Amino acid sequence: MSGSGVRGTVTMHDVAAAAGVSVKTVSNVVNDYPHIRPATREKVQKAIDELGYRMNLSARSLRQGRTGIIGLALPELSLPYFAELADSVIRAAEARGVVVLIEQTGADRQHELDVLTSDRRQLTDGLIFSPLELGPDDADALKVDYPLVVLGERIFGGDWDHVTMNNVDAARAATQHLIDQGRRRIAVIGAHAGETMGSAALRVLGYQAALAANGIPLDPSLIVEGGLWHRATGAECVDHLVSTGVEFDAIFGLNDALALGALHALHARGIAVPDPVAVIGFDDIEDAAYTSPTLSSISPGREQIAQEAVDLLLARIAGGGDPYRRVIADFTVVPRESTGG
Amino acid sequence: MSGSGVRGTVTMHDVAAAAGVSVKTVSNVVNDYPHIRPATREKVQKAIDELGYRMNLSARSLRQGRTGIIGLALPELSLPYFAELADSVIRAAEARGVVVLIEQTGADRQHELDVLTSDRRQLTDGLIFSPLELGPDDADALKVDYPLVVLGERIFGGDWDHVTMNNVDAARAATQHLIDQGRRRIAVIGAHAGETMGSAALRVLGYQAALAANGIPLDPSLIVEGGLWHRATGAECVDHLVSTGVEFDAIFGLNDALALGALHALHARGIAVPDPVAVIGFDDIEDAAYTSPTLSSISPGREQIAQEAVDLLLARIAGGGDPYRRVIADFTVVPRESTGG
DNA sequence: GGTAGGCTTTACATCGTTGCAAAGACGTCC
DNA sequence: GGACGTCTTTGCAACGATGTAAAGCCTACC
């Protein structure tokens, strides 16, 4: 405990005094300024160790205009996909020496807008933003004066970096996988009517493309609306399908939560999976490997998305007016029991 | 965009100049100092609005020694219980005007120790800490000079506030629930041999108490070790049970992830739930309501825990040398299909 | 009319760090 | 021997806010 008085009490001044050098020299040592005589560096380091000096980060932030914190805005952590994404982002950030401040928007449009202009942006050097409700009309709101990386498919073409995946291709692959298992009456759950951007719209496009490529007619009654992609919604969609009496031999949940809800509802009605009804999800959350039956899904390259997002953001924070980039992460189909895999 | 130049460019000085008052008066207005003439307040507010002034939080932090950020250290967000806990903590914090910096310890002892002394503690006004690996021997490490609220059951009796639940009673209730369904050969999965503190030990105690209260003999072969409370561990525990040939008609997973893994393994072996084997978990994560069959569990009052933790922490940050408190959250048994409910 | 005392406002120093520019130290080269 | 260039170190002035203490302004009361 030598020298460690009240918290934050030891300043560079104290270290400088103890080491017999100027404050600036201490600063230089701490910041690895190259031109320091080894003997000096040693003296200073010794004083630092003895006094237990810790740099005051607020002071440094004030001086440098940087906090070392990045923001991550997402709908909510209780959605497993976003929890896992946050996990990956935090790990990636930690590996690069920054920390993460998480803000939940609750998938509320106004809240998503607020996050962009919140006072908290002061605390962060940049923001990784995963909007669910903003649309192309809100592009102006994204014209912010701090580094921004946008995740997802809702808004394009602005002055920011973008990390996304090929939703159309991935959904096509998911659908093709079902077709390969001999399914022809494939329901999609979680569609968003009227949208042309966003994961829902793009994934439905992929679904339609796969059907077309296989000469399977599109039956609109197999496309079920579902606003929030929660488990409960998935169950409701299945209830809807069953109650309308449509025939179907497979379900494509536009995300895993929907698919989990679907599994639940099918089970409750005594409909077995994968026969007569196969199910595939999207996101490949951890749960998918532990449901009964296990859930086939699309793995969106979560780690890759997180790392790319953090890298892009940090590069932007570091400066350099590189052109804004759009990174497309890889996906893979993960077959499990729910599609007979 | 009037007046909003480069980010952070508008300072109190600018506002003061525009309003024709001193910088301190601007500060007073911003901080709701009571003795300000309405006319002055109005002038200043007008200047603030026109210039788009935002307070520089780094400067305020430096001056006040507070950042408005609280830390939350937990094992990992990809464990649903902790994701949901983080969700609740962030909401509670937001309602009280502070933000949350999340650090993952990966359930690694050294990492848990590091978090307590990390440079990042400089950025936070206090810490909510949910250790998994620290034990009573590490109590000294928790003697920190910043506000600390500890969650869980691993360490007691130090100078910090504590939010926990009655693990023994809750586990007893879970076990009693199984007994009430006529079960007598109840396996417990996820036990930690040799521990006397911690959720595992306490929950096993509750389990034993329930057996004793019902005159059911304790069979050690029904207590299965399992270090990390992940889904995979739960599956392994069941595999172990089955392979040793022990007879059992119920499984008590010491948390829901274990129970989910157990459901998975039982399903894979064609053993139905709840008959012949009933399953109950602990934590009542969202998933529990959507598994097939749905999973009975113990709801630990997550919201309450989060709110109490944030309140205690903020009270401690605000000062006042109140005696350290220990809050015990309420729990409820949530019966679902996996126990025949 | 003078003054005590409360309400408003202000100037200044300060929080702990880093950028800047310049000073000092030292060796080299002509 | 002196000028020059490089390596080290330094003092000072910021960064943008707030605490302190004091000054100015009123009102009220004697």
Closest partner residue to B287 (CB to CB) among A102, A267, A287 is: A287
What's the CA gap between A151 and A162, in Å, rounded?
Answer: 6
pLDDT digits (tens, 9 = 90+) for A2-41: 333 345 589 999 999 999 999 999 999 999 999 999 999 9
Q: How far is CA A86 from CA A121, A245, B131, in A?
A: 18, 40, 19
Please list the rounded mean pLDDT of every run of 10 residues in chain B (341 residues): 49 95 96 93 95 94 94 95 97 96 94 92 94 85 92 78 94 98 96 87 96 96 92 95 96 96 93 94 94 93 96 90 89 96 71
Look-up of token digits 């890298």: A311
Q: What's the pLDDT band for A152 if we cut at 50, 70, 90?
A: confident
Whether B263 sits inside 8 A of A103 (CB atoms) is no
User: Which of A223, A232, A240 lies closest to A185 in space, CA to CA?
Assistant: A223
Q: What is the per-residue pLDDT across A309-339, written as a single tens digit (0 to 9) for each?
A: 999 999 999 887 788 999 999 999 999 999 9
pLDDT of A207-227, one tens digit each?
A: 999 999 999 999 999 999 998
pLDDT attached to residue A6: 45
Torsion angle, alpha carbons of B259, B260, B263, B266, to 10: -80
Reading the block at residue B226, the tokens are 């399992």
Residue B258's nearest CA partner among B280, B238, B230 is B230
Q: For residues B269 and B292, what is the distance between their CA atoms, to the nearest angstrom?
A: 15
pLDDT tens-digit profile of B226-267?
Answer: 988 999 999 999 999 999 999 999 999 999 999 999 999 999
Q: What is the pairing mode between strands A278-280 and A250-253?
A: parallel
Distance B319 CA to C2 C1' (A): 46
| Binding residues for strand D (Cβ < 7 Å) | A 21-25, 28, 33-37, 39-41, 59, 62-63; B 8-9, 11-13, 23-24, 27, 30-31, 53, 55-56, 59-60, 62-64
pLDDT in tens, A51-108: 999 999 999 999 999 999 999 999 999 999 999 999 999 999 999 999 999 999 998 9
Our CA-based measurement puts residue B230 at a distance from the nearest CA of chain A, in whole angstroms, of 10
Domains and CATH numbers, chain A: 12-55 (1.10.260.40), 68-165+302-330 (3.40.50.2300), 167-300+334-339 (3.40.50.2300)
Q: Are A228 and A222 in contact (CB under 8 A)?
A: no
Question: Which pLDDT belongs to residue A1?
Answer: 32
Res B78: pLDDT: 92
pLDDT (average), residues A46-54? 94
- Four-point Cα dihedral B184, B186, B192, B194, nearest 10: 20
A264, B61: Cβ pair inside 8 Å? no
What residues in A contact B145, CB-CB < 8 Å?
6-7
Q: How far is the CA of A32 from the C1' of C30 (A)?
A: 36
Phi-psi region of A20 (alpha: psi -120 to 50; beta: other; left: phi over 0): left
